[in-house]
Amino acid sequence: MRTLARDISQAARDRPGETITVSGWVHRIRDMGGITFVVLRDRSGMAQIVFSEPSLLKNSEASGEKPAAEGENGLTLESVVTVSGIPALNEKAPGGAELRAASLVVVSRAMPELPYPVNGDIAKTGLETILDNRLLSVRNPKIRAIFNVQAVIIEAFSACLRSRDFTEIKTSKLVWGGTEGGTELFTVEYFDRKVCLAQSPQFYKEAMVASGMERVFEVAPAYRAEKHDTPRHLNEYVSLDVEMGFIESEKDLIDLERELLARIFEEVARKNAADLALWKASVPDAAAVAKAPVIAYEDAVKTANEWANGQAAKASGQAAGKAAGRKTERIFDINPEAERFLCDWSAAEYGTDLVFVNEFPRRYRPFYAYPSDANRTMSFDALFRGLEITTGGRRQHSYEAFVEVLPRFGLKLENMQNYAALLRYGCPPHGGFAIGCERLTARILGLANVKEASLFPRDRKRVAP
């Protein structure tokens, strides 16, 4: 019977003097001359193991058929071992207990030279090194914490939607062309023809809403063949997609996203306290999500400019002479800089680092965006801690309006037959949005680059491991 690291102190209290067995990875070795302290890592956490004499550190069982070759003695970091011994309370040890080893079995010996220092400070290695050595870097507890949080995000997202009558769907990622007719698509050689990797499940989500399912969600990869390499982009990402029928406007969707984010933050706070602590991070509470402002695009641009100028004036006031001559560039769009300004503004004005921007101009949104008037659409973005994490909106559901709008976007009806079929046979008012899973993860933990929040990120240069 194996005992997990987190249960050692319980064992020490409940069954003092009884031998227990733990298994895991050798995270750290401290030789104190005679006594050796080994920190063992397993899925539940860390355990301190005390080897009171050097002979106990010898493999007490042959792991293979051959005797150990020269140089293969000695415990190595990251080896997988099984240790039996007596648990003892020790308030200085992680979890308040340690294991006094009586025997050691090396289950899988790690090569002595690790290409990445698993137990080191990740701030001391660059992102490229971390990603080049992903199989080892993900063993670092702080890095693994990122993916513990991500798992809870996905769980909470799904659970919240199921409780609101949403059905999970799984749709094809091999499509005949872009949903939005865009050019940023990867091509797949599919038998004797070429197809594309889906950049969004939107068409399929809409189809399932129109089928009568009404409320659907999907958690799946999405692909963008963007050539530029930025801290906010991934060529393959996990899209948390939602689509909902019988809505009136994007405000229904903003309400739903508030509920979703509040639930996600609540679950992460509850289940990932240790992970958040490693990153010195915290999540907004429900009140902070509730008070996130909704600001119309035009006002948002204005506010971002005012905020930028106010900040610049403040800086020049503080730093006197030197910065006084600096002039802030005018912001014309909700670009990455404006996203940061708006979140700072919201934090200062509303005490929340979440902002919804709605009423985007028609020229900035795709053909299917539902117009609220001649120039604006029922669409929105969600910005969180300086980064856009969501784009969404109500979609066009009228076939006649769809046919009318196509030429304005340079699209031809004969190339849009699938979309036409969606609207010709009864389609309710509907809309949806997608949350970028890696972006949300990154912003919760304060990661500088969204690639850090992807287990095996893909960019223009990276397709391995």
Pick 105 or 315: Cβ nearer a second copy? 105
Positions in 136-195 near a second copy (CB under 8 A): 136, 138-139, 144, 147-148, 150-151, 154-155, 158, 162, 165, 167-176, 186-191, 193, 195
- What is the smallest separation between the CB atom of 345 and a second copy, expressed in angstroms? 33
Pick 28 or 173: Cβ nearer a second copy? 173
460 binds a second copy (CB under 8 A): yes
Among 54, 126, 351, 465, which residue sits at the site for a second copy (rule: CB under 8 A)? 465
Among 397, 439, 443, 451, which residue sits at the site for a second copy (rule: CB under 8 A)? 397
| E strand spans, 203-324 | 215-223, 236-245, 294-296
108 binds a second copy (CB under 8 A): yes
Instruction: Of 419, 441, 434, give the one whose Cα is nearest residue 379.
Output: 434
Q: What is the helix (H) or strand (E) element at residue 384, kind and residue range? A: strand 379-384
429 binds a second copy (CB under 8 A): yes
DSSP letter string, 86-146: EEEE-TTSGGGEEEEEEEEEEEEPPPSS-SS-TTS-GGGS-HHHHHHTHHHHTTSHHHHHH
Among 12, 20, 24, 354, which residue sits at the site for a second copy (rule: CB under 8 A)? 24
Instruction: Of 256, 213, 281, give the one whose Cα is nearest residue 390.
Output: 256
230 binds a second copy (CB under 8 A): no
Q: Of 234-242, 330-338, 343-351, 382-390, which part binds a second copy (CB under 8 A)? A: 234-242
- What is the smallest separation between the CB atom of 200 and a second copy, expressed in angstroms? 14
3-state secondary structure of 83: strand
Among 10, 60, 94, 236, which residue sits at the site for a second copy (rule: CB under 8 A)? 236
Beta carbons of 135 and 271 less than 8 angstroms apart = no
221 binds a second copy (CB under 8 A): yes
436 binds a second copy (CB under 8 A): no
Beta carbons of 265 and 283 less than 8 angstroms apart = yes
Pick 326 or 424: Cβ nearer a second copy? 424
Among 422, 434, 442, 444, which residue sits at the site for a second copy (rule: CB under 8 A)? 422
Q: How many residues touch a second copy (CB under 8 A)? A: 97
Positions in 401-420 near a second copy (CB under 8 A): 418
CB atoms within 10 A of CB 287: 10
In this structure, what DSSP letter does residue 36 have? E
30 binds a second copy (CB under 8 A): no
- The Cα 239–Cα 324 span in angstroms is 44
Pick 41 or 301: Cβ nearer a second copy? 41
Close Cβ partners of 26 (under 8 Å, ≥ 6 residues apart): 38, 39, 40, 41, 75, 76, 77, 78, 79, 80, 81, 110
398 binds a second copy (CB under 8 A): yes
- What is the smallest separation between the CB atom of 437 and a second copy, expressed in angstroms? 7
CB atoms within 10 A of CB 18: 10
What burial class does residue 128 get, using C-beta atoms within 10 Å of its C-beta: 0-12 exposed, 13-18 middle, 19+ buried? exposed
Among 11, 29, 49, 109, which residue sits at the site for a second copy (rule: CB under 8 A)? 109
Pick 75 or 88: Cβ nearer a second copy? 75
Q: Of 132-140, 249-257, 382-390, 407-415, which part binds a second copy (CB under 8 A)? A: 132-140
- The Cα 120–Cα 27 span in angstroms is 10
Beta carbons of 64 and 55 less than 8 angstroms apart = no
Pick 108 or 335: Cβ nearer a second copy? 108
- What is the smallest separation between the CB atom of 419 and a second copy, expressed in angstroms? 10
378 binds a second copy (CB under 8 A): no
Phi-psi region of 382 (alpha: psi -120 to 50; beta: other; left: phi over 0): beta
- What is the smallest separation between the CB atom of 63 and a second copy, expressed in angstroms? 8
Beta carbons of 197 and 174 less than 8 angstroms apart = yes
Positions in 41-80 near a second copy (CB under 8 A): 41-44, 64, 76, 78-80
Among 71, 212, 321, 410, which residue sits at the site for a second copy (rule: CB under 8 A)? 212
- The Cα 403–Cα 314 span in angstroms is 51
219 binds a second copy (CB under 8 A): yes
Pick 230 or 335: Cβ nearer a second copy? 230
- What is the smallest separation between the CB atom of 379 and a second copy, expressed in angstroms? 20
125 binds a second copy (CB under 8 A): no
Q: What is the helix (H) or strand (E) element at residue 194, kind and residue range? A: strand 193-197
How far apart, in Å, are the Cα atoms of 192 and each of 105, 177, 195, 326, 353?
Answer: 54, 16, 10, 59, 50
240 binds a second copy (CB under 8 A): no
Q: How big is the CA angle at 87 (ends 81 and 93), to the nearest 5 degrees? A: 85
- What is the smallest separation between the CB atom of 130 and a second copy, expressed in angstroms? 13
- What is the smallest separation between the CB atom of 449 and a second copy, expressed in angstroms? 17
Alpha carbons within 13 A on the beta-carbon side of 155: 13
